[in-house]
């Protein structure tokens, strides 16, 4: 009796366990496969699926101009160049203020130990006017020196130098943003190309299996197709990794809070023809910031020579005082005279440099050496400008000329893969031809995308010399 009850309980337990197993899905069965492990069949995934972003908000869509504006607000090197320009401008303001009269108000109280001697006005120190002396005066001071004007012009040249350097920083930032922006655009394109290549390799692997089952191809064809399929899956993973890396680099450049919830506009297209080289050369001579830096450096060194010579010339200081210098802090003195304490005085000082053990002449020599170096740098900058103009123009022109050829090559490679696959299915082509056609198509598409980025970067480099066309 007891044995039969135990057997019945065991059967019921097995039934209940089986029901639980059927009701609960296996662990990971309903989990979506990651992009790194799943097979892709030609669909293009959006950047939001490959980045750790806030999916509750729509991504910010950025154009190249938006990226430039954000980079100018957040790039530390560009901001440092603007800061240097602001500091140089304030130096100019301060130097100009030194050429103008300054007004100050001075208040002073002097207490002297009394001596009781009437001959000295009751004070122990002859230099003082009384036991209690109150000074409250306004002072207008003007310094006159040949070196002051030369120093002001030197500071103006330094401001022009900082302005030219800030222009260099601006154009250099454009190159950086263009590289990062279009680098990410091309990384997205290459990821889409890798998805299509992986889907094509998977489809060809399926075709080879079916042909083997029908006895039309050997096992070696299936093995080669499987190797190609696995290689394309690894290439897809690498393309995804590269796309995420370029996205992170662009986010660091554009956002102060490292926001990754954004997308970019793919505006790569066949560019317009370049202007003639004569026009480009004229624009480079007129708008080149490197040349302006060299000219500003030469002008600054010229003024430094004048400042050094002016330091050995006489200088004049003029002061006008108006106020109180009396024994009582009052407009009028004590009774019975009630004399007026307010009054004025003026001083003129002439300073003549006589001997400083050759230090002044040494400063002149230093300034002259800097001026000679500035002449050399200006000459080199002019030669470098002509060479860079020709080099950058040829690079831009060549990269643009190759775009049409690269686009045609990509189209031919696509047709070649389609025809080779049909020939393989008809038994007229080998598996190696199909694999070679697949690889050729991937390389051709990537080469076209790289060619477009090459042109954009070359154009940005050319515009660092000439400004925008």
φ/ψ bin of 193: left (φ > 0), alpha (ψ from -120 to 50), beta (otherwise): alpha
For residue 325, give the H/E element and its range: strand 315-326
3-state secondary structure of 344: strand
| Pairwise CA distance, residues 228 & 232, whole Å | 6
Task: Note whether residue 419 is domain-resident.
Answer: yes
Task: Note whether residue 26 is domain-resident.
Answer: no
Q: Judge whether 297 and 378 are in contact, CB under 8 Å.
A: yes
Structural domain boundaries, residue 322: 103-144+315-352
Tell whether 235 and 294 lie within a shared domain. Answer: yes
| Half-sphere exposure at residue 447, Cβ-oriented, CA atoms within 13 angstroms | 17
What pTM did the predictor assign? 0.76
Please tell me the predicted confidence (pLDDT) of residue 124: 57
Nearby residues of 205 by Cβ (< 8 Å), 6 or more positions away: 222, 225, 226, 228, 229
Residue ranges of alpha helices (H) inside 219-276 are 219-254
Number of other residues whose CB lies within 10 A of the CB of residue 62 = 19
Nearby residues of 418 by Cβ (< 8 Å), 6 or more positions away: none
3-state secondary structure of 452: helix
Tell whether 159 and 214 lie within a shared domain. Answer: yes
Please tell me the predicted confidence (pLDDT) of residue 248: 95
Tell whether 203 and 267 lie within a shared domain. Answer: yes
| Pairwise CA distance, residues 36 & 270, whole Å | 33
Task: Note whether residue 51 is domain-resident.
Answer: no
| Pairwise CA distance, residues 229 & 248, whole Å | 29
pLDDT-above-70 percentage for the chain: 84
Task: Note whether residue 330 is domain-resident.
Answer: yes
Task: Note whether residue 371 is domain-resident.
Answer: yes
Low-confidence ranges of the chain (pLDDT < 70): 1-55, 113-130, 469
Tell whether 197 and 325 lie within a shared domain. Answer: no
Q: What is the dihedral of CA 266, 271, 277, 279, to 10 degrees?
A: -80
Tell whether 191 and 323 lie within a shared domain. Answer: no
Tell whether 340 and 439 lie within a shared domain. Answer: no
Tell whether 124 and 210 lie within a shared domain. Answer: no
Tell whether 84 and 185 lie within a shared domain. Answer: yes
Please tell me the predicted confidence (pLDDT) of residue 111: 76
Please tell me the predicted confidence (pLDDT) of residue 348: 95
Give the number of domains in the chain. 2
Tell whether 374 and 230 lie within a shared domain. Answer: yes
Which of 302, 328, 352 is the last residue in one of the domains? 352
pLDDT in tens, 168-213: 999 999 999 999 999 999 999 999 999 999 999 999 999 999 999 9
Which of 325, 352, 379 is the last residue in one of the domains? 352
Task: Note whether residue 193 is domain-resident.
Answer: yes
Please tell me the predicted confidence (pLDDT) of residue 42: 34
């Amino acid at each position: 009796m007891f044995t039969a009850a135990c057997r019945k309980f065991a059967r019921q337990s097995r039934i209940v366990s089986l029901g639980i197993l059927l009701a609960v899905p296996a662990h990971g069965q309903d989990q979506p496969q990651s992009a790194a492990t799943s097979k892709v069949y030609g669909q293009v995934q959006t950047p939001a699926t490959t980045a750790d972003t806030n999916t509750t908000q729509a991504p910010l869509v950025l154009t190249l101009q938006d990226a430039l504006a954000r980079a100018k607000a957040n790039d530390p090197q560009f901001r440092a160049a603007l800061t240097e320009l602001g500091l140089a401008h304030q130096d100019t303001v301060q130097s100009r203020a030194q050429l103008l009269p300054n007004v100050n108000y001075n208040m002073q109280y002097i207490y002297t130990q009394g001596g009781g001697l009437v001959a000295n006005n009751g004070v122990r120190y002859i230099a003082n006017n009384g036991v209690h002396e109150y000074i409250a005066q306004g002072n207008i001071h003007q310094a006159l020196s040949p070196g002051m004007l030369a120093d002001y012009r030197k500071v103006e040249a330094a401001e022009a130098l900082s302005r030219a350097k800030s222009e260099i920083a601006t154009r250099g930032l454009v190159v950086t943003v263009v590289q990062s922006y279009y680098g990410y655009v091309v990384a997205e394109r290459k990821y889409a190309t890798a998805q299509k290549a992986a889907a094509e390799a998977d489809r060809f692997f399926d075709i080879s299996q079916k042909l083997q089952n029908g006895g039309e191809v050997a096992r070696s064809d299936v093995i080669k197709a499987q190797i190609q399929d696995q290689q394309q899956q690894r290439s897809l993973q690498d393309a995804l990794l590269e796309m995420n890396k370029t996205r992170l680099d662009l986010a660091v450049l554009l956002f102060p809070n490292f926001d990754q919830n954004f997308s970019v506009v793919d505006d790569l297209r066949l560019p317009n023809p370049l202007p003639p080289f004569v026009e480009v050369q004229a624009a480079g001579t007129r708008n080149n910031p490197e040349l302006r830096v060299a000219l500003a450096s030469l002008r600054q060194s010229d003024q430094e020579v004048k400042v050094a010579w002016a330091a050995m010339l006489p200088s004049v200081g003029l002061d006008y005082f108006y106020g109180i210098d009396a024994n009582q802090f009052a407009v009028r003195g004590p009774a019975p005279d009630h004399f007026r304490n307010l009054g004025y005085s003026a001083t003129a000082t002439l300073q003549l440099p006589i001997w400083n053990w050759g230090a002044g002449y040494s400063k002149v020599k230093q300034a002259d050496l800097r001026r000679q170096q500035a002449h050399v740098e200006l000459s080199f900058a002019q030669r470098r400008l002509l060479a860079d103009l020709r080099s950058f123009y040829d690079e831009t022109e060549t990269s643009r000329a190759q775009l049409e050829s690269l686009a045609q090559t990509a189209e031919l490679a696509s047709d070649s893969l389609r025809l080779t696959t049909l020939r393989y299915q008809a038994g007229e082509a080998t598996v190696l031809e199909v694999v070679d056609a697949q690889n050729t198509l991937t390389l051709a598409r990537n080469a076209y995308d790289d060619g477009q980025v090459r042109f954009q970067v070359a154009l940005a480099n050319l515009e660092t010399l000439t400004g925008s066309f």
